[in-house]
Structure 1
Amino acid sequence: MLPFAPDAPDFAADPYPAYAELRAEGRALWFEPTRQWLVPHHADVSALLRDRRLGRTYLHRYTHEEFGRTPPAPEHEPFHTLNDNGLLDLEAPRHTRIRRLVSKAFTPRTVQRLQPYVEELAGELVARIVAEGGGDLVTELAEPLPVAVIAQMLGIPEGDRALLRPWSADICGMYELNPDEETARKAVTASVEFSAYLRELIAERRKEPGEDLISGLIAAYDEGERLSEQEMISTCVLLLNAGHEATVNTTGNGWLALFRNPEQMELMGRISGDTGAGPEKLSTAVDELLRYDTPLHLFERWVLEDIEVGDVRIPKGSEVALLFGSANRDPAVFRDPDRLDLTRRENPHVSLGAGIHYCLGAPLARIELAASFGQLLRQAPALRLAGEPQRKDGFVIRGLASLPVEV
């Protein structure tokens, strides 16, 4: 029996000892409960992320029946329409076309233009926590910051922004292993409501374009091609879901790691307070927090052609589960991998993916994380835990529901 129990709260709370056992067991391990091949080693995870014999979808090459899979339930169609038209679940050539068009609107200049807003908002949120003498870092900083930033980027009015987080949470429930019917129902409802909202907003921007990303997506044009309305809707939802889930969970996981490693907390404070250090040291520290307790622990891929991982043949039609959390603690790649080391230079973590599906919003996520950690360390240098953190349900997208602190 493999030491892999994604439904068990104790396992989700600390899966790293089990990952070490999985790496010792082999390079590709069959897990019957989810009917997936678990891949725990960094070299294999990294290679398979780039291997075009695998895909996030198989529908660009096969029907469900040809691939030996059962089509999704018809009542789940709104979720799949939304999800299956987003970059994360597409393959070339459609992925190539959409990413090229999205990149014309979501440029490095777009991200840099947001930096002052990110710093100002992070400063305001932290100031409120300091004024209250503490609070919950998840609900009062980690969640509102990235949601507000992405809403600002998309041009969503402030009065509507409270809708976004619940929609996103309900949709992301479908990314856990074997989601139940209630989870699916919530995801479908959120998909319908979010899509309808964005459809109206896109119609408004067609009439009156602005400086926001939705206006940019409408205007994006290349080689005679534009994005369809559904592609724009799916792109906006993906930017919100992927863009803020990673940031929210890295913030909570990262602070908990710092509280449990006081010498690294002290080092983080020195890095943040050193005006001559430049952004590189803080960026190195953020990457280590992403590696040490990654917000995404498992990434699924379909096997489109027979492959071999080590001496294991994995046939076409199989599904592999790339274990990011295990890959990021692999001693074959990371020296002393179970130690948090904010000065770690060689850090090829896979927390943001690799290959054509490398996280489009990675530069923005790093700006948000640097701003929130920096502002807290400067405004609340004596920050400390004020109670027991609470974990969210779920293992694939792994983070905290609450992190009480006092200053």
Structure 2
Amino acid sequence: MHVSFDPWSPAFVADPYPAYAALRATGRAHYFEPTRQWLIPHHSDVSGLLRDRRLGRTYLHRFTHDEFGLAAPPAAHEPFHTLNGNGILDLEAPDHTRIRRLVAKAFTPRRVEELAPTVERLAAGLVDAFVAEGGGDLLTAVAEPLPVAVIAEMLGVPEADRALLRPWSAAICGMFELNPSEETARAAVRASVEFSAYLRGLIAARRANPGPDLITALIAAHDEDDRLTEQEIVSTCVLLLNAGHEATVNATANGWRVLFRHPEQLALLRADHGLLPTAVEELLRYDTPVPMFARWVLDDVEVAATVIPRGSQVALLFGSANRDPERFTDPETLDLSRQDNPHISFGAGIHYCLGAPLARLEMAASFGALLRRAPGMRPVAEPEWKPGFVIRGLRELLVEV
């Protein structure tokens, strides 16, 4: 086990890439005692295991906690686990198949396409206000409010309530970090109770008075006699909000930080906005906002010559896989025109990110608006990273325009 992998170290969080390179060079599966996980650093293995049905986000569809050799979570944490456990991210077949199919009926590519003018309008408004101020914190002024506003608009959350969403989301996502504290768990439970109650009120209002929003579509989605339960609708809405808040926000701010550190690539993008589609993909590859995703091992799996036994947890290192020289040419080089780019920042297999088209749309809209309206934007301070590693993002990104 290479000593430099230390997800609680600020230096590691700021630049984990040398540690990833060391992991790739020294093997394909490394047991990491502090989190009792197997670290998987290579693209081919991460990609393969994401599609392998012997692994799962949960084990409860096949085993009890006892059978799997794990303690049940404390009863006090139940509201968080009920909320989290009924969303498609943490379910496996057959429940995952049924819920994802029903959610996909409401959250269609066409619906995302129809959102494009709304996303462009919201991005332009945020960027105009930011430029009028002469700059400031790009994270809180543009990166954060855009996905929040888009998802809130999709769900039909009234504008007056939108400030509630981000703190709830942040508190819940604290539980996805490695070995979260009891204090983190209490905050997540409180947010789960409040958020769920808020959404149940919104669902009741839509049942009484349907609208052109996603909650109405989720209520209406059905196959034969199959519908989403109220808990499944609540969990789906929270999942969409959390993914939009955490991953897209960080992808945007992390992406600008990378561009500022590669002025020659930023100059190319400023000269040719037609590079935006490949630039977005390359920024997602080069510095993914979700560097690690965990899976439970439901049946023994073998990685190279290492048998990883049932009951283990694997940590699939997306950040390492995205820089694997066995899969990418010059992986340490930022190339905004990169064509062959099978990054796995959106995952793969049955849990491939349902919101990927929306995330791409939002990033293209906000980057495009900033390139047009703030062509000389530059950083005024070296940004600091938040302490989390599983969801990796900046505290702030101060710029002037």
TM-score, scaled to structure 2: 0.99
Aligned to 1:329: 323
Is 1:303 matched up with 2:304? no
In structure 2, what is the equivalent of residue 241 of structure 1?
Answer: 242
Who is 1:379 aligned against?
373
Instruction: Write the distance in 2 (CA, Å) between the matches of 1:207 and 1:343.
Output: 50
Q: Which residue of 2 aligns with 1:39?
A: 40
1:366 to 347, 357, 360: 360
The reply to whether residue 219 of structure 1 matches residue 220 of structure 2 is yes
Correspondence for 2:229? 228
> What is the rounded CA distance, in whole Å, between the counterparts of 1:300 and 1:60 in structure 2?
17
- Equivalent-residue separation in structure 1 for 2:88 and 2:196 (angstroms): 16
* Structure 2, gaps ≥5 residues long: none
Residue 268 (structure 1) shift: 1.4
| Offset at residue 270 of structure 1 (A) | 2.1
TM-aligned CA deviation for residue 244 of structure 1: 2.6
Name whichever of 218-227 and 242-251 sits farther off: 242-251
Match of 2:399 among 393, 402, 405: 405
Aligned partners of 2:143 and 2:252 also within 8 Å? yes
**2:85 partner letter:** D
CA–CA separation in structure 1 for the residues paired with 2:180 and 2:370: 36
After TM superposition, the structure 1 = structure 2 runs for residues 3-402 of structure 1, keeping only pairs within 5 Å, are: 3-272=4-273, 277=274, 281-402=275-396
The TM-score normalised by the length of structure 1 is: 0.97
* Distance in 1 between residues matched to 2:204 and 2:128, nearest whole Å: 38
**Separation (CA, whole Å) in 2 of partners of 1:380 and 1:63:** 55
Opposite residue 85 of structure 1, the aligned amino acid is N
Q: 1:271 and 1:16 mapped to 2: Cα distance?
A: 29
Q: Distance in 1 between matches of 2:345 and 2:26?
A: 23
Task: Give the Cα separation in 2 of the matches to 1:143 and 1:27.
Answer: 36
How far does residue 110 in structure 1 lie from its aligned partner after superposition?
Answer: 1.2
Q: Give the AA of the match of 1:184.
A: A
Distance in 1 of aligned mates of 2:398 and 2:356 = 27
Shift of 1:390: 2.2
Unaligned runs of 5+ in 1: none
Higher alpha-carbon deviation: 104-113 or 157-166: 104-113
- Opposite residue 270 of structure 2, the aligned amino acid is G
Moved over 3 A (4+): none
Q: Counterpart of 1:30 in 2: which secondary structure? A: strand
Q: How far apart, in 2, do the equivalents of 1:165 and 1:229 lie? A: 22
Task: Write out per-residue CA displacement over residues 129-165 of structure 1, whole angstroms, 9 at most, x where no aligned residue.
Answer: 1111111100000000000000000000000000000
CA distance in 1, matches of 2:193, 2:368: 38
CA positional deviation for 1:25: 1.3
Q: C-alpha distance in 1, partners of 2:181/2:359?
A: 30
> Distance in 1 between the 2:199 and 2:387 partners?
28
Q: Give 3-state SS (helix, strand or coil) of 1:391's partner.
A: coil
Q: 3-state SS of the aligned residue for 1:140?
A: helix
Contact 2:140-2:396 at 8 Å conserved across structures: yes
How far apart, in 1, do the equivalents of 2:39 and 2:139 lie? 31
Contact residue 155 and residue 214 of structure 2 kept, 8 A: yes
Cα contact 2:169–2:245 (8 A) shared by 1: no
What letter matches 2:348 in structure 1? A
Shift of 1:283: 1.3
What RMSD over aligned residues (CA atoms) do the two structures have, in Å? Answer: 0.7
SS in 2 for 1:62: coil
> Would you say how many aligned residue pairs link Structure 1 and Structure 2?
400
- Alpha-carbon distance, 1:114 to partner: 1.2
SS in 1 for 2:395: strand
Q: CA deviation at 1:389?
A: 1.0
Cα deviations by residue, 1:253-277 (Å, 9 ceiling, x for unpaired): 10000000001101111232xxxx4
Cα displacement (A) at 1:245: 1.4
AA aligned to 2:221 is A
Q: CA deviation at 1:113?
A: 1.6
User: 1:115 aligns to what SS in structure 2?
Assistant: helix
Deviation of 1:30 (Å):
0.4
Question: Deviations 1:202-240 (Å, cap 9, x if unpaired)?
Answer: 001000000000000000011210000000000000000
**Aligned AA for 1:286?**
V
Tell me the percent identity: 71
